[in-house]
Structure 1
């Protein structure tokens, strides 16, 4: 969220950027190459969508929500086509406080987490549930058992229960309702576990802070995987027997770098589950570019293309080539900067040594004194 951005940006001034000045080891070069795999899909240029915090993919487009907004026109559930153009919106029956994430169930039900609380002052947070074909979502209020938390990520269990993942630094907590949700009542939550984020060096605008805060979540279309994201990386977990909580709290994630997104908060799977899709909030400047939907292939999940002679490359093959070219370019760029720095250092040493020899030859020998 934008208030957090201001605080973190100020702190980053006294912290080193993620690996910017470090000598690139072989593993870092490889990581940089992998991180170049994000491919632009479409641009969101609707003036109402500048604080996108939640994203879900459908068969014919996307669903998104903004986070907290003072403008009524931005407090909607937005449906987009495949070109990221808004096709329709759904109003809330009452004003949401801070909608931060959304997930889409297999039957098309959309769950929205109204769980943002920067100042940790809310007595209750909420879920909005939009059933397929419904004209407006239904509100369900919930309360934490251990005081207020700020949160920006939502997951969905196999039985359709929404799970909050908090934005606590380093070890986010997982909270789920203790019983079936009921409209018009406040349902208690219980803490069902926590997730320890792996170490990361992925470059992002908020340096170390950006690697320690969970800002979004999603469930794969077939329910066998879930993903959490930070400002820097996507962390994908395998789900066994539909147990999302166990997957996140006990599993070891596969890391997909999401480098240098302006303020990455939204993430989802594409409809076939072979890639991750992300969106950032728009930066706080008049000249800032509109949010761009990015696609990151998941390793070992990309569909295989025919390599028969004489066949033309399809769209997936072209995307793969583009990803490979970008990866190679990124690797060359990192390596080039390192070689350039070493060369410049050697040049300075040579010049310094030559100057010292010249000074020594011009110095009087001391005879006759």
Structure 2
């Protein structure tokens, strides 16, 4: 037998046998194909993980288990998926859908959908309460390229308010996110600007794509594609004035979904991109 092809064959078989590498993330499972474009996750108990997809997908919320297997789903009966970008939850178990994706900064129908605790509902259809809002700082739809500050893919619930973290679409790109808060109640609200934050300046990794607050309210995690910005020791609406730890998870995929499973465990999901993604991961904080 020719020795060179044999060695090449062994090398090929060895490479096929190697396990995928996920950096510092722990792989939990492959999400169902219904969640190719997963854009938000949240959980009330760590066992049932709720998920949504973004623009162009169904008006559905899905539940998966910690191994990423689909266990149930609901159709939102009275709201359309304009661009659902994140999920949040409150202490009563209600979850909130952020219908505020705004890539071109031209939407005037931004809203958040309050879903009554789906853990207690039967599978089928479910109705939501609508929380409308606008950014007072936006005067034109769309504004000029240097003012494209009104897209959003990340938010969380805290003390009867929803905190929105915007995604930088401006040119030149500065990696700047603005923090707004909106009352977590039905109405048409002016979002209040409470702070701003520069993550980093690489547009591939630095835009904020998800957010959550720990169950005990002491940690806030913002997500980018491969990075977590973790805030602690904050004592005001502008949590960016607290202590910041930047965490490189050493895995570069289209990560758009993050939530706390408990006070020290974070769950992350990424979108399907060619042969990568559509996975559920965990990350344990130090």
TM-score of the superposed pair, with normalisation by structure 1? 0.61
Separation in structure 1 between the aligned mates of residue 223 and residue 268 of structure 2, nearest angstrom: 9
- Give the structure 1 partner of residue 131 of structure 2: 140
Tell me if the contact between 2:179 and 2:238 (Cα under 8 Å) persists in the aligned partners.
no
Please report how far the alpha carbon of residue 96 of structure 1 lies from its aligned counterpart in structure 2 after TM superposition: 2.3
Gaps of 5+ in 2: 1-21, 142-149, 169-173
Q: Match of 1:253, SS? A: strand
**Structure 1: 5+ residue runs without aligned partners?**
1-34, 200-207, 300-369
Give the structure 2 partner of residue 230 of structure 1: 224
In 1: Cα distance, 2:207 partner to 2:195 partner: 16
Q: 1:258 is matched with which residue?
A: 249
**TM-score of the superposed pair, with normalisation by structure 2:** 0.78
Larger strand proportion of the pair: 2
Q: Quick one: which of 78, 83, 102 aligns to 1:117?
A: 102
Larger helix proportion of the pair: 1
Q: Residues 216 and 290 from structure 1, CA distance in 2 versus in 1: closer, same or farther, beyond 3 angstroms?
A: closer
> Any residues of structure 2 matched to 1:1-369 within 5 Å, and which?
36-44=23-31, 46-59=32-45, 60-69=47-56, 71-72=57-58, 75-92=59-76, 93-132=78-117, 133=120, 135-147=126-138, 149-157=150-158, 159-168=159-168, 169-177=174-182, 181-182=185-186, 185-197=187-199, 208-240=202-234, 243=236, 245-248=237-240, 250-270=241-261, 272-283=262-273, 285=274, 288-289=275-276, 291-299=278-286
Residue 239 of structure 1: how far off its partner (Å): 4.7
* Number of equivalences: 242
CA distance in 1: counterparts of 2:96 and 2:190, whole angstroms: 18
The answer to whether the Cα contact below 8 Å between 1:166 and 1:173 also exists between their aligned partners in 2 is yes
Which of 1 and 2 has greater Rg? 1
Distance 1:81 1:140 in 2: 29
* Matched-pair contact (CA < 8 Å) for 1:51–1:67: yes
Pick which of 251-260 and 211-220 moved more. 251-260
Q: C-alpha displacement at 1:240, in angstroms?
A: 4.3
d(CA) in 1 for partners of 2:86 and 2:204?
A: 18
C-alpha distance in 2 between matches for 1:79 and 1:236: 26
Report Cα offsets for 1:145-203 as digits up to 9, x if no partner.
1226111110222x1211111002422011123x6632xx422112111112257xxxx
In 2, Cα distance between equivalents of 1:210 and 1:228? 15
> What is the CA deviation profile of residues 24-60 of structure 1, one whole-angstrom value per residue up to 9, with x for unaligned ones?
xxxxxxxxxxx9321101110x221111110113422
Aligned CA-pair RMSD: 2.1
Shift of residue 77, structure 1, vs aligned partner = 1.1
Q: CA deviation at 1:90?
A: 2.0
